[in-house]
Amino acid sequence: MEAVRATEIMVAAGARELRDGQTVVVGLGLPQVACVLARRTHAPALSLLLEIGVTNMNPVDTPIGLADSRIFYRATCWSGFLDILGMNLHRGVVDVGFLGALEIDRFGNINTTLLKEDSGKLRYFNGSAGGNDVASLAGRVIVIMRHEKRKLPTAVAHLTSPGFPGGRSRKDLGLRGEGPQRIITDKAVLGFDRGTHQATLLSLHPGVELQDVIENTGFRMETPKTVPATPLPTPEELRLLREEIDPKNVYLG
């Protein structure tokens, strides 16, 4: 069998964070792949919401954007942004927000707006879309991204979506939910300390050395004396990912 790729470990780890019966607002890319994997394995009653208003879709042939009609296949509802962001997120019925990020800092604050180049020039990206609503109002937040020092800075270049700003309690800031709970990267899984609200190392992916993670993280994080290994995907999870969910390696490749 082909060697297990880091992306496959990432989406399997993300899928295992989801529980049957939960309601999840999901972003495109690896979050989408992880949620579909969860629905086809241990969480068949998982309710998936796209911010544009599509509900409980069963994507085919790895759609590549919200305007790609393959993502709407067998959806049970197609409403709009106001329904997802208002009647769901703001009403408090979303259990999990599953997001990507350009940057995320030690307090789980997310930047999807801009990056500053060494020359001082600013590069602008998509911005918030529904990300701020998701991070502010979902019961818990999971972020999936590449593990690079520049993507895990001490402080984000722009705070698009809040985690624990300044290490403060979300309740004190008027934010709903538990905030960010997991950062799943291609090297490790990080969590957040309940007291300091700072990122902590939970597990290393098989074959990844602790020093590699430390050197590629832009902030100091709490590290246990013995770091467990992130579980590998099961043979059935690998079959689903490679043969049904993303056979063309659009996101996993």
Where does residue 124 rank: exposed (0-12), middle (13-18), buried (19+ CB within 10 A)? exposed
> Does the annotation mark 51 as catalytic?
yes
Ramachandran category for residue 229: left, alpha or beta (phi over 0 → left; psi -120 to 50 → alpha): beta
| Residue with the two structure tokens 């989801």 | 18
Catalytic, out of 51, 117, 148, 243? 51
Do 186 and 146 meet the contact criterion of CB atoms below 8 Å apart?
yes
What six digits make up the tokens of 197?
């609200």
Q: Catalytic residue positions?
A: 51
